[in-house]
Amino acid sequence: MSEPTLYEKSVPGRTALRLPELDVPEAPLPQELVREGLNLPELSQLDVVRHYQTLCERSFGVDSGFYPLGSCTMKYNPRVGEAVARLPGFANAHPLQPVEQVQPLLVLMFDLQTWLAEIGGFAGVSLQPAAGAQGELTALLMMRAYHEARGEGARSQVLIPDSAHGTNPASTTMAGLSVLELPSDERGNIRLDALRAACDESVVGLMITNPNTLGLFEQQIEEVIALVHACGGLVYGDGANMNALAGVLRPGDLGIDLMHYNLHKTFSTPHGGGGPGSGPLGAAPALVDYLPGPVVEHDARSYRFATPAKSIGRMCTYHGNFAMWVRAWAYIALHGAAGLRKNSLHAVLNANYLRVRLHDRYRVPYDRINMHEFVCRGDVGAEGSGLGAADVCKRLIDHGIHPPTQQFPLIVEQSLMIEPTECESRETLDAFVSAMLEIEREAREQPELLREAPHAGPVRRLDEVAAARRRILRDAAGLEEEKA
């Protein structure tokens, strides 16, 4: 079923491009630029266009259908963002251009820093980090620098709830710090007694996602933050779930010291397929001087790049993913404070609607009012059927629906994490509910339908572990299986 590669479609002598007649004297290429024996596919332009169009049609994105991938906020990317990101003044700017030539770009960066700081309740924002995970690493490096400056550089422990996203412990390890996992209670909150016991002078800080990855608001957030601050630790907010809060609650007002924003989630810049992303970082007054630079500042006459006084340095080459900032700027400008608030409220409403419509058929382990997403269990069917979240996900593909996140968070067995976003209509949500209810009925009556799904689509059930571990690479020389 796999599509032949461009190499397999290659026909010797066929070309996609004809260069115009030479009207200058012919000159040899510098020898170091010449590579002999490059075996490139030879195809017509139409062959190439059809090849990529075919692959494109086999793919699934927010523009093709419902995409309730929890924690990822796969919301619609308004086309105006694409239009402005492509304006020649933005698209053709070069990062090494003198700042006098690109003042409007710096104005846009300054606006975005200011708006994000306002939305999150922070004293300052750096646009440097290129993703949420890089924002986490940045924040941990800042926390380390902050403690070192106060003569407390021996602090080494980062507290992370067991519901956290895998990037939290990974970033901690990358920052040279160690992880102490905190258990959740039966309501999905951090267990305060465990937190209290962990809080001492070894603590760098706490990383907290609120609402957490169960889609639940941390009900004792103020006590949690107070406990960490009381032992000299800092509180990091994983801002991936800001789509529940933007315009409603400012994490900085709760006492959170640092937080990343995922522009590619909350602020509707396209994502998936590995980027580009953008994970700006907000900081409370005590930490703004440690932010990575450059950040944009201005006086009455002009805008310029500056490095905060105690900056930990740069997190990426040049300035970051500028085109994402243009899209996020456009999104915020388009909606305004009232619009962002309305989006958050609708995102929460849509997710609660789905939970209430499904919770009789899919067990919801923490069945309380949720925020922008919720987690239910995918082990449906008769006792001992062996069916799980993966089978439900595969069967959803037959309904033209992208599967929700599954097997995360780890504290719920066979978890399905469902995030509809504010963009979806009542009809789409109802169609999803119908599909889920039908799948649950099939699980009881015809379990093989789930076990063998998907039945439609370009490929049937894949062995996803083998696909990652035993890659089959193809090139001009043919097939080659990679040895594990």
Ligand X SMILES: *Cc1c(COP(=O)(O)O)cnc(C)c1O
User: Given the rule CB under 6 A, which residues bind ligand X?
Assistant: 71, 131-133, 165, 167, 209, 213, 238, 240, 262, 277, 279
CB of 419 to ligand X, least distance (A): 9
Spatial distance between the Cα atoms of 422 and 477, rounded to a whole number of angstroms: 48
Torsion angle, alpha carbons of 236, 239, 241, 245, to 10: 100
Q: How far is CA 454 from CA 300, 431, 445, in A?
A: 61, 18, 17
Query: Of 70 and 294, which CB lies nearer to ligand X in the complex structure?
Result: 70
Structure tokens at 274: 């590995």
Which residue number is nearest to ligand X in terms of Cβ? 132
How many residues in total does the chain contain?
Answer: 484
Report CA dihedral (76, 414, 370, 426) to the nearest 10 degrees: 40
- Provide, rounded to whole angstroms, the least separation between the CB of residue 129 and ligand X: 9
Residue 156 near residue 177 (C-beta atoms within 8 A): yes
**Smallest distance, ligand X to C-beta of residue 447, A:** 32
Pick between residue 412 and residue 450 the one whose CB is nearest to ligand X: 412
Please tell me what DSSP assigns to residue 414.
Answer: T
74 Cβ contact partners less than 8 Å away, ≥ 6 residues apart: 62, 67, 68, 271, 272, 402, 419, 421
Q: At what angle do helices 426-445 and 389-398 cross, to 10 degrees?
A: 120
CB nearer to ligand X: give 97 or 173: 173
Cβ proximity to ligand X, 133 vs 195, nearer residue? 133
The region, left, alpha or beta by phi > 0 then psi within -120 to 50, assigned to residue 339 is: alpha
Buried b / exposed e over 184-208, threshold 16 CB at 10 Å, is: beeebbbbeebbeebbeebbbbbbb
Q: Measured from the CB atom, is 157 or 212 closer to ligand X?
A: 212
Q: Which of 271, 276, 244, 242 is nearest to 259 (CA)?
A: 242
- Rounded to a whole number of angstroms, the minimum distance from the CB of residue 68 to ligand X is 14
* Residue with Cβ nearer ligand X (188 or 279): 279
| Distance in Å, CB of 96 to ligand X, minimum | 27
Q: Least CB distance from residue 244 to ligand X, whole Å?
A: 12
Contact 208, 192 (CB under 8 A): no
Q: How far is the CB of 320 from ligand X (least distance, A)?
A: 13
Picking from 166, 154, 159, 216, the residue whose alpha carbon sits closest to that of residue 186 is: 216
Q: Which is nearer to ligand X, 170 or 431 (CB)?
A: 170
Closer residue to ligand X (CB): 238 or 442: 238
CB of 333 vs ligand X, minimal distance in Å = 22
